[in-house]
Structure 1
C-alpha cells in the first residue's frame, strides 16, 4: 500500500487533543488539590474516587483533571449527602463502572484495530493509528449504543428480579442460604494450551475470537447469560435447569461444528451474585465436573440429574450415569452425562 492510500498517514499529532475536546471538554487543567477544591470534597475522597475508577494515583504537580471530572464526582457526592445511598455503595458502583468501562473500551478498540488490519492490510501499529484517528467520529455512535444496551440490560434484569420474587411468593427466604437459584455451566476448550502453543498470532486470534463469538451467541440464543469468559473457558448461568442443559449441549454441538473441541458441565444450585460474578459451592462443582468431562460431553451431578428427570418438559434429554469419581476438594462425586437426542 502506498503512502497516498495508507489510512495510517492521516493520523495527526493533534488527535489526542481532539479526543480530549470531544470526550472531556478539553485537556486537563487541575491538580488533585484543585480538583478537590472545585468538587468541595477532601483530597482523600478524590484519590478514592480515582482509584475506584481503576486509575493510578496522580502526582501532586500533575494537571490531568477537567470540569467533567468535577461534575461526575460532585453528582455522586450529592446523592450520598442527600441520603440516596451510602458512601460504600457509591464506591462499589464506581468500581463496577471503572472495571466494566475498562473492559468495554479495550474490547471495542481491539475489534476496530482488527477491522482496520484486515480491511486495509495494515500492520498492528498502523491499524492503531487509524483507529485512534477515527474514534473521534465513532465516539458518538459508541456512546449511544452504550446507553441503549444499558437500558435494555436493565429492563431484562428487572424482569428476572420480578420472576425471582414471584417464585418465592409469600415464603420467607432462609437467611442462611445463598439468595439465587440458578443453573450454572462451564464450557472449556480441550487441550487449549497444547493447541495454542502451535498457533501463530493470526491463528490464535481467530481461535479466541471464534470461541468468544460462538459462546456468546449460543448462550444468548438459548436464554442463558454469559457471566465471564476466562481465556479458554466460559461461565454461564440460566434461570432454570432445562435452559442450562440446552445451553451447555448447544455450546458443545456448535463448537464441535466449528472444529473447536470442548467439554462442559451444568448443575443446579444456589449462588451469590457480586461484582458481576457468581460465587458458591455450585460454581466450584461445575468447574470440577468440566475438568473430568470427556471431549464433546456435558456432565452434571446426580442431584441435578434427579431434578431434570422430574421435569416433564425435559423430553429428548438423555441421562447416562457414570462411575463415582473422587474429585479433589469435593470428595466423591456421582457424575452423569447429559445429552439431547436431537
Structure 2
C-alpha cells in the first residue's frame, strides 16, 4: 500500500493540474500513454470492436492523436478477446455485458468519488485537501475495490444457491417469478417542500428498510429507483413475506409505503426483469392505498393455499395498459 512518503506525494507542489494528473495515474494504474491506434496494436482488437466497447462504457471516443489510454485499458481489451475465444461469447453479448456493468457501476463510482473530490475542489489551494484526495486514491480506493469484488462474489454465490434450491424442488429452470414494487406515497409532493438533507435521510431509511426485508427473506433487489424499489423472489410466499415485512417494519412517523406484487412469466436480461408481470406489479403499486400491499390474481391463487395470509378482493380498476385490473389486499392472519 502507498504511504504518506510515496514518490507521488514527494513530487506534489500544489498545482491543480498536477494534482489531477497524479490522482488520475493512481486510479487508472498508470499514466495515459497510448493513443487509440497504439491500444489497438498492443491489444490485438480491431477498431470497430474496441470503439463499441468503449462507447458501451459511456465514454466518447478520443481524438486519434490523444494519449488517453493506459496499460489497464490494453489489458481490458485483451480480456474482451479472451471472452470470445474461451467462453464463446460473441461481440454483441460482450457489448451488452459491458453496458450493463457500466449502468450498475457508474452511479456507485460517482457517489464514492464525490465523497472525496467535491470537498477537495472547494479548498483546492490547501495542502491538507490535496493530501486527503491523494489518501483517497492511494489507500481508500483500493479498499473499496476489494470490497466491490467481495460483494460481487457473494451476489454470484447467492444466485447459484437460489437456482440450486429451485432445481432441488424438481424444476430445472424457473418458469416465472414473483415481482414486487414498493414506493413512498406522496414522495413527489414531499420532495418539493423538504430540504435536501431530509430527502436524503428519507431515501437512506427506505433503502435500508427495503434491503433488510428483501435480504432476510432471500429475495433479490433488482434496482432502487429513487423512492421506489423493484425486487423479485422465486416463490410467491417469499415475495409476500418481503412486502409484509417491509410494510410492518416501516416507521409510522415516515410517509407511508405502497406495495404491489405480481407473479408470472418474467424476462430476465442482464440482471434486470421485464414483461407483463413486472408491468402489473407496477400498476398494483399505483392503485394501492398508502400503507397497503396489493397482489394480482396469480399471487392470490398461490397464497390462498397458506393459512398465514388473508386476502380481500378489490373492485376492478382501469389503469394504463389494463382496462380491468383486479387486485387483492394482502394481510397476515396473525
Partners of 2:134 and 2:120 lie apart in 1 by 16
Relative to structure 1, the CA distance from residue 123 to residue 76 in structure 2 (aligned partners, 3 Å threshold; closer, same or farther) is: closer
Give a deviation string over 1:178-209, Cα, whole Å, max 9, x none. x6421111111111111110011212222222
Matched, 1:239 2:201: no
TM-score scaled by length of structure 2? 0.85
Give a deviation string over 1:243-273, Cα, whole Å, max 9, x none. 1111111212223435131111112212111
Match of 1:325 among 279, 297, 317: 317
TM-score scaled by length of structure 1? 0.83
Partners of 2:69 and 2:197 lie apart in 1 by 39
| Alpha-carbon distance, 1:12 to partner | 6.9
Partners of 1:48 and 1:288 lie apart in 2 by 36
Residue in 2 aligned with 1:154?
A: 156
| Alpha-carbon distance, 1:333 to partner | 2.1
| Alpha-carbon distance, 1:275 to partner | 2.5
Segments of 5+ residues of structure 1 without an aligned counterpart are 1-9, 174-178
Relative to structure 1, the CA distance from residue 134 to residue 340 in structure 2 (aligned partners, 3 Å threshold; closer, same or farther) is: farther
Count residues in correspondence: 316
Residue in 1 aligned with 2:93?
A: 89
Segments of 5+ residues of structure 2 without an aligned counterpart are 1-12
Partners of 2:14 and 2:160 lie apart in 1 by 44
Given that residues 12 and 133 in structure 1 are in contact (C-alpha distance below 8 angstroms), is that contact kept between their aligned partners in structure 2? no
Relative to structure 1, the CA distance from residue 318 to residue 109 in structure 2 (aligned partners, 3 Å threshold; closer, same or farther) is: farther
Residue in 2 aligned with 1:22?
A: 26
Relative to structure 1, the CA distance from residue 163 to residue 222 in structure 2 (aligned partners, 3 Å threshold; closer, same or farther) is: closer
Residue in 1 aligned with 2:8?
A: none
Partners of 1:301 and 1:131 lie apart in 2 by 53
Given that residues 11 and 130 in structure 1 are in contact (C-alpha distance below 8 angstroms), is that contact kept between their aligned partners in structure 2? no
Matched, 1:282 2:277: yes
**RMSD of aligned C-alpha atoms?**
2.7
Which secondary structure does the structure 1 equivalent of 2:315 belong to? coil
List aligned pairs for 1:1-342, cutoff 5 A: 13=16, 14-82=18-86, 84-110=88-114, 112=115, 125=122, 132-136=133-137, 137-169=139-171, 180-257=175-252, 259-311=254-306, 314-315=307-308, 317-342=309-334
Relative to structure 1, the CA distance from residue 218 to residue 133 in structure 2 (aligned partners, 3 Å threshold; closer, same or farther) is: farther
Partners of 1:64 and 1:212 lie apart in 2 by 37
* Larger CA deviation: 329-338 vs 247-256: 247-256
